[in-house]
Amino acid sequence: MENEININDSDFEKQVLDKSETLPVVVDFWATWCGPCVMLSPIMERLAKEYKGKFILAKLNVEDNQEKAQEYGVMSIPAVKMFKGGEIVDEFVGLLPEAEIRDFLERNL
């Protein structure tokens, strides 16, 4: 199973809400023009590989997909939200140090 996927507004329900019934899904709301997003992305990708299928990393470009960003209250990016059972269980905004991202994952997985 792929542990990193690119998603959009139209497949959000299937890729995030449905899949989060069986496995946590971490959604990274980002944009190409966002410097902190570009710095966060490789950290999230590396952790997704390192955690070997304990969660799915779903990346949503908010430039192209504003509907879900608005629906989930994304005011600034990067915004990272963890879904379990179709619900947000935890989230953070901004570029955090890798150790804090690991803490976020550990307390939720």
Q: Are 82 and 25 in contact (CB under 8 A)?
A: yes
Catalytic residue among 16, 25, 26, 37: 37
Q: How many CB atoms lie within 10 A of CB 42?
A: 9
> Which strand ranges, in their side-by-side order, compose the sheet holding 87-93?
4-7, 56-61, 25-30, 79-84, 87-93
Q: Is 37 a catalytic residue?
A: yes
Nearest to 30 by CA among 71, 73, 74: 74
Q: Which of 7, 25, 27, 34 is catalytic?
A: 34
Q: Annotated active-site positions, please?
A: 34, 37
